[in-house]
Chain A
Amino acid sequence: MIRSAKNSCPMTRKLKYSQLIERFLAGEMNEDELRWFSNELKSNAELSTELKLDNDLDKILLEEDVVEFRRKLLSIYNENKQLNAPRIVRLQPRKWQLAAAAAIAVLMITGGALLFTQQRSYTPEKLFSMYYDSDRSIELTRSGNANIVEAVLKFQQKDFQGASLLFAEILDRDSSNMAVWFYNGISYIETDRIDDAVKAFNYIVDDGNNLYVEHAEWYLGLCYLKNEQIDSAVNEFRNIAVDQNNYHKKEAAKILENLGRQ
């Protein structure tokens, strides 16, 4: 009757303009930003598609009763599926089945041992490269500030050193822009200035009240990994893993598992 939505696409597409759209919809843009946004909408098909998706989602969420109706259909469908599931008939095991069970048990034990030794073979550097996503798309508002526009362009062109210099200049004038702190932190990682990245992410975490806190905590953990400051990394990932609402909860738990420090 109803299926849960499944994702079978092998390539992950990314959203580029979420924060811009969020600020636009929340009415948080100033006049310059609004002007830029309206112009950009006319020529930027990706931005326009993302905004349309946002508006569509608002519409579907307004249909609360329909969503609840679908939820009921889904639950009825799942109940029926369970009722119609084939029953397991228990038979007396034969000799070959016992042998197979023993073989599986041996495989599980040796496999478990292998897994255990493999967990130990994750070096901090390896874990860092497994989990660090260098392909972050930038979501800064080009608020008419020439430096920001230039910095964004440099970041997009992967000129992280150039971007970082401009981000630092912007932060000298206005240190309250957490987005700039965040992307400056990423630029520092990309240019192997891990200690500076740690400072940038700590600044965001200490501020507390901004959209970047969870991501900053995550990258802070990764920076500690990169610096081989394992205890600091473990502390960071433990905090993330126990926070039910944290966006990176599962990945943090996986890293702790790989480090053998659950």
Chain B
Amino acid sequence: MILFLVTKNNGSEEDAEDVFQDSLIIVFKKIKANEFDLSCSFRTYLYSVSRNLWLQKLSKRKQFSREFSDVETYITMTDYALSEKNQDEMEKFRLYQQHFLTLNDDCQKVLMLFMKKVSLRDIAIEMGYKTEKYAKTRKYLCKEELKKRIINDPKCQKFLSDD
């Protein structure tokens, strides 16, 4: 359904994957924040979120055409989650999180533990490191690796040079 919507309206399969993923994340966040108010079928809701995201993307790319083809019924949505500003942020976070998921398991775990404010001592114990200092070094090197992957991804450049 979303693949059809995007590819029928100037998009590629890859665009459709991104829109679908971002839509699912929006729904996921709404459910978590108790803001998920379903007044239509879930299918229509998900389609409407994706439709909004894709329309904004097209307008940003200046590819919007008057002959936008819908493939499902949809509801009108106006909340912040679908705003242009939030969409940029979502795209950035999607790319950064995808890079995070390419790090080895050890690095992912260390960074997550550090962010949860687990003490260096406990991180060292959990990860089997000899010293707290080494836990700190690992965290630094893992973050460094993540940053390197991001700054060398052409898709991330606009987030690194803007603002």
Interface string of A1-28 (1 = CB under 8 A from B): 1111111110111110011001000000
Chain B hits for A74, CB < 8 A: 101
Residue contacts A-B, CB under 8 angstroms, 6 given: A3-B17, A5-B155, A13-B148, A53-B151, A57-B146, A71-B101
A12 to B155 CA separation, bound complex (whole angstroms): 14
Which one of A15, A70, A210, A244 lies within 8 Å of B98 (CB-CB)?
A70
Pair A67/B100 contact, Cβ less than 8 Å:
yes
B57 located at the interface, meaning its Cβ lies under 8 Å from any Cβ of chain A in the complex: no
Chain A hits for B137, CB < 8 A: 210-211, 213-214
Interface string of A118-142 (1 = CB under 8 A from B): 0000000000000000000000000
| Chain B interface category by residue count | 35 or more
**Nearest chain B CB to A240's CB is how many angstroms away?**
13
Pair B115/A209 contact, Cβ less than 8 Å:
no
Pair B151/A2 contact, Cβ less than 8 Å:
no
Interface string of B40-59 (1 = CB under 8 A from A): 00000000000000000000
Chain B hits for A102, CB < 8 A: none
Pair A15/B97 contact, Cβ less than 8 Å:
no
Pair B149/A2 contact, Cβ less than 8 Å:
no
Which one of B17, B106, B150 lies within 8 Å of A1 (CB-CB)?
B17
B32 located at the interface, meaning its Cβ lies under 8 Å from any Cβ of chain A in the complex: yes
Chain B hits for A15, CB < 8 A: 144, 147-148, 151
Chain A hits for B100, CB < 8 A: 57, 60-61, 67
CB-based nearest A residue for B29 = A66
Pair B149/A5 contact, Cβ less than 8 Å:
yes
Interface 9-mer from B4-12, B67-75, B88-96: B88-96
Interface string of B81-118 (1 = CB under 8 A from A): 00000000000111111111110001000011001100
A62 located at the interface, meaning its Cβ lies under 8 Å from any Cβ of chain B in the complex: yes
The A interface is mostly helix, strand or loop, or mixed, namely: helix
Which one of B97, B106, B151, B161 lies within 8 Å of A70 (CB-CB)?
B97
CB-based nearest A residue for B132 = A209
Number of A-B contacts (CB under 8 A): 122
| Chain A interface category by residue count | 35 or more
Which one of B101, B146, B159, B163 lies within 8 Å of A4 (CB-CB)?
B101
Chain B hits for A73, CB < 8 A: 21, 24
B36 located at the interface, meaning its Cβ lies under 8 Å from any Cβ of chain A in the complex: no
A53 to B157 CA separation, bound complex (whole angstroms): 11
Known: A7-B152, A9-B153, A13-B151. 15 other contacts (CB 8 A): A3-B14, A3-B98, A15-B147, A18-B147, A53-B147, A54-B143, A57-B96, A57-B143, A58-B115, A61-B112, A66-B97, A70-B101, A71-B101, A214-B141, A245-B129
A196 located at the interface, meaning its Cβ lies under 8 Å from any Cβ of chain B in the complex: no
Interface string of A139-164 (1 = CB under 8 A from B): 00000000000000000000000000
Chain A hits for B125, CB < 8 A: none
A219 to B100 CA separation, bound complex (whole angstroms): 28
**Nearest chain A CB to B12's CB is how many angstroms away?**
12
Chain B hits for A5, CB < 8 A: 95, 98-99, 101-102, 149, 153, 155
A44 to B124 CA separation, bound complex (whole angstroms): 35
Chain B hits for A49, CB < 8 A: 160-161
A5 to B149 CA separation, bound complex (whole angstroms): 9
Chain B hits for A66, CB < 8 A: 25, 28-29, 93, 97
Pair A244/B153 contact, Cβ less than 8 Å:
no
A22 to B140 CA separation, bound complex (whole angstroms): 8
